[in-house]
Amino acid sequence: MPDVRTPAPQVTPRPTGRVSVPAGIERVMEDRKANEYTPPEPAALTVRDLDFYYGSRRALAGIDLQFPEKMITALIGPSGCGKSTLLRCLNRMNDLIEGSRVDGEIEYHGLNLYDRGVDPVEVRRRIGMVFQKPNPFPKSIYDNVIFGARVNGFRGNADELVERSLRQAALWDEVKDDLKKSGLALSGGQQQRLCIARALAVEPEIILMDEPCSALDPIATLKIEELMRELAEHYTIIIVTHNMQQAARVSDYTAFLLAGEAGSGEVIEYGPTEEIFANPRDKRTEDYITGRFG
Amino acid sequence: MAVTQTVPSAPHEPAVNLEASGRVARRQRLSRASRYVLLGTALLGVSALVVLGIDTVMNGWGRVTPEFFTNYPSRFADQAGLRSSIIGSVWVLSLTMALVVPIGLGTAIWIEEFAPQNAVLGIIKINLANLAGVPSIIYGVLGLAIFVRFLSFGPSILAGALTLFLMILPMTIIAAQEAIRQVPDSIRQGSLALGASQWQTVWGHVLPGAMPGMITGVILAMARAAGETAALVMIGAFAFIAYDNTSIMDNFTVIPVQIYNWTTRPQEGFRADAAAGIIVLMVIVLTFNIGAAVLRERFRRH
């Protein structure tokens, strides 16, 4: 069994703006379908032929996506396209929904997250999550940060971990004198950064963000976006967003999802963010990002 | 330079009349009247209570002496006291609480957090709501049949506590369920997303959040148990006890049963004893209720 705690160190160059592609390669790229794209290895998560059902309703159909390590991948699409559902499949939060069912597999370090022997608690401490609405616990800032580490058996220096996590989440300077204050007393943007700090304290490998800025004002949003770029040095980030400018600003790769005829979400197009926004291959992607629907 | 503007002072008729007239005036009159009608209904109930309270205090206040708390019941009204019934109440209520807290709260946590949401659970929930409305005398009959007779506990403290426990269990569970449902789901999800197990989530977040409501529920249920008469009379807690209880298998009496006992006597003096007992019981139940309110407020602030 591979040691999943220490991902192999690797360097992947970031895509830098629009690159001129040699003519031959361009031809090859033209030939592939818009939703068939393989980002550079290694992959943090690979979704293969994933179907998701709420009861008898199929919410996701045949999803194939590979999420590259230490990159930010954005999932965009109109409401009801299944992007949040897909995100919550990635750390098995959907297990909590009574009557839901998953077909297909999600590969993580060579293991399928939906294998029989896989415990969702083990999955969630490696694949953290930040929610749409900031949801700090009604406890002190300090207890908010330390909770996840404690339940996962952390026995080290708690003060140090709290400081490190809050620094990583760019919140330390604002709260360092007030760690005993309730997390609920912070502003919305601070609360969301507290939730990020809380997720970081568990030392996950991947962080899922479900529209993390939709409840925040533009300045708080900017702060979170800057923070995401910093975090991408060490973490794989997958973000669901309604905001196309946000996807364009922060993400390296973008997947566009749309609900098909039967109401099941499908990946319409996937690729480097620059390409998706500058040269969408699929007419529907183009319509969506130019604001023609959604 | 500030520019001064002169407002034309010529009076002119306003285009609209904003004083209440016609239908609006009628609706407003009705609205104002309803206020006094409602105040009247409220006063009706409260004044009845006040009159009863004053009457009781006037009849019984003279009997609330230190000896009233330390004397055993007696054939002589002026020597009778609450000693054995206070001790009996403490025994029975302690045992009831020791049973209802773990079992009631445990059941509520199971129903709300762990139970599969299926038809069987639905039936259990409906039955809980119905059981909370069953008259206490029915629980007395049940206690008599099962605890006193079938299990041969006799009219003992144990049988009394088990009967009261059954009686207040449904309302405790329902109050605790309500408190647990007040904890927002986003808190549970946040905890689970950090890799906490379901029990860690319940222990670390749901229980602290639900604590004020659960404590209130338990205290209010205990207040009801403290004042319960019919069920205990039914199981036979109607004895003349002139000793201190030392075991859960002892026969016993409790304050409300003792009061009832005194009201059945023909002598005038026992009526004063009953009134004095009511004063004591009211103070106890009121203390429970105030305690519940204080605890709830204290938890809410943290």
Please indicate, yes or no, whether residues B58 and B176 belong to a single structural domain of this protein: no
Cβ of A93 and B197 within 8 Å? no
Residues 6+ apart with CB under 8 A from B134: none
For residue B281, the enclosing domain spans 66-301
What are the pLDDT digits (tens) for A168-181? 888 999 999 999 99
pLDDT above 60: residue A5: no
Among B184, B192, B200, beta carbon nearest to A96? B192
Tell me if residue B98 falls in helix, strand or coil: helix
Query: Are residue B12 and residue B71 in the same domain, yes or no?
Result: no
CA nearest to A139 within chain B: B302
Span between the terminal Cα atoms of chain B, in Å: 56
**pLDDT averaged over every residue in chain A:** 86
Measured over all CA atoms, what is the biggest interatomic distance in chain B, rounded to whole angstroms? 101
Shared domain check, B12 and B105: no
Write out chain B's pLDDT in tens, 302 residues: 455 555 555 567 778 888 888 888 899 999 999 999 999 999 999 999 999 999 999 988 888 888 888 888 888 888 888 899 999 999 999 999 999 999 999 999 999 999 988 899 999 999 999 999 999 999 999 999 999 999 999 899 999 999 999 999 999 999 999 999 999 999 999 999 999 999 999 999 999 999 989 999 999 999 999 989 999 999 988 778 888 888 889 888 999 999 999 999 888 889 999 999 999 999 999 998 898 888 888 877 65
CA pair distance B17, A244, nearest whole angstrom: 52
**Range scoring the smallest mean pLDDT among A18-22, A252-256, B42-46, B262-266:** A18-22
Say what the pLDDT of residue B302 is. Answer: 56
Contact between A137 and B186 using a beta-carbon 8 Å cutoff: no
B interface test, pick of A147, A200, A210, A211 with most B CB neighbours within 10 Å: A147
pLDDT-based confidence at residue A27 (cuts at 50, 70, 90): very low
B268 shares a domain with B168: yes
**Residues in contact with B91: Cβ distance below 8 Å, sequence separation at least 6, in sequence order:** B157, B161, B245, B248, B250, B252
> What is the arrangement of strands in the sheet containing A253-259, beginning at the earlier edge strand?
A111-112, A100-108, A43-54, A57-68, A265-272, A253-259, A72-76, A236-240, A206-210, A127-130
Name every chain B residue with its beta carbon within 8 A of the beta carbon of A122. 195
Angstrom distances, CA of residue A88 to CA of A202, A222, B72: 18, 24, 68
Residue A210 has pLDDT above 70, yes or no: yes
Residue A13 has pLDDT above 50, yes or no: no
**Which is more confident, B209 or A14?**
B209
Rounded to an integer, the average pLDDT of A15-43 is: 62
User: Mind listing the pLDDT tens digit for each residue in A91-127?
Assistant: 999 988 888 999 999 999 999 999 999 999 999 999 9
Task: Give the number of beta-carbon pairs within 8 Å between A and B.
Answer: 65
The reply to whether ipTM tops 0.90 is no
Nearest chain A Cα distance for residue B125, angstroms: 18
Give the closest of A126, A133, A151 to B204, CB-based.
A151
Task: Specify whether B41 is located in the same domain as B159.
Answer: no
Q: What is the distance in angstroms between the Cα of B189 and the nearest Cα belonging to chain A?
A: 8
Task: Please check whether residue A138 touches B, CB under 8 A.
Answer: yes
Reported confidence tier of residue A294, pLDDT bands at 50, 70, 90: low
* Domain match, B54 and B178 both: no
> Are A91 and B186 within 8 A, CB to CB?
no
Note whether B189 contacts A96, CB cutoff 8 Å: yes
Percent of chain A scoring above 90 in pLDDT: 63
Task: For residue A183, give the DSSP letter.
Answer: G
Same domain, B146 and B196: yes
Look at domain A28-135+205-289 and name its CATH class.
Answer: alpha beta
Q: Name chain B contacts of A198, Cβ cutoff 8 Å.
A: 190, 194
Picking from B189, B204, B209, the nearest residue to A147 by CB comes out as B204
B152 — alpha (psi -120 to 50), left (phi > 0) or beta? left
> Bigger pLDDT: A281 or A41?
A281
CB contact under 8 A, B193 and A122: no
Cβ–Cβ of A125/B194 closer than 8 Å?
yes
**Which residues lie closer than 8 Å to A177 by C-beta, 6 or more apart?**
none
What pLDDT shows up at residue B8?
57
Give Dmax (Cα) for chain A. 61
Best A119, A143, A150, A151 member to test B by mutation, with max B CBs in 10 Å, is: A151
Q: Where are the domains of chain A?
A: 28-135+205-289
Asked if A161 is an interface residue toward chain B (Cβ–Cβ < 8 A), one would say no
List A270's β-bridge partners, or say none.
A255
Query: Residue B82 belongs to a domain with what CATH number?
Result: 1.10.3720.10
Tell me A184's DSSP state: G
Same domain assignment for residues B160 and B52:
no
CB < 8 Å to B117, chain A: 98
**Residue A73 scores a pLDDT above 50:** yes
Do B49 and B79 fall into the same domain? no
Q: How far is A149 from chain B (nearest CA, A)?
A: 8
For chain B, how many structural domains are there in total?
A: 2
Contact residues on chain B for A136, CB-CB shorter than 8 A: 190
Q: What is the per-residue pLDDT for B4?
A: 55
Residue A134 C-alpha, separation from nearest chain B C-alpha, in angstroms:
9
Q: Which of B42, B63, B84 finishes a domain? A: B63
Please state, in angstroms and rounded to a whole number, the distance separating the CA atoms of residues B175 and B223.
14
Q: How near does any CA of chain A get to the CA of B197, in Å?
A: 6
Are A231 and A253 a contacting pair, CB within 8 Å? Answer: no
Chain B interface test: which of A98, A121, A127 (most B C-beta within 10 Å): A121
Residues B51 and B71 in one domain: no
The span from the CA of A116 to the CA of A113, in Å, is 9
Does A166 have pLDDT greater than 80? yes
Q: How far is B188 from chain A (nearest CA, A)?
A: 9
Q: Is A199 on the interface with B (CB under 8 A)?
A: yes
Alpha helices in chain A (DSSP H): 23-31, 83-90, 120-126, 141-151, 158-168, 172-175, 188-200, 218-231, 244-250, 273-278, 283-289
Query: What is the chain A residue with the closest CA to B186?
Result: A135
Give chain B's radius of gyration (CA, Å).
Answer: 28
Looking at residue B297, its pLDDT comes to 83
> Are A121 and B197 within 8 A, CB to CB?
yes
Same domain, B120 and B12: no
B8 and B104 assigned to the same domain = no
- Residue B301, pLDDT score: 65
Is some CB atom of chain B closer than 8 A to the CB atom of A99? Answer: no
Stated pTM of the model: 0.80
Q: Residues near A172 by Cβ (< 8 Å), separated by ≥ 6?
A: A163, A166
pLDDT at position A32: 65
Whether residues B193 and A91 touch (CB distance < 8 A) is answered with: yes
Chain B residues in contact with A131 by the CB 8 A cut-off are: 186, 189-190, 193
pLDDT at position B296:
81
For the segment A284-293, what is each residue's pLDDT rounded down to a tens digit? 999 998 887 6
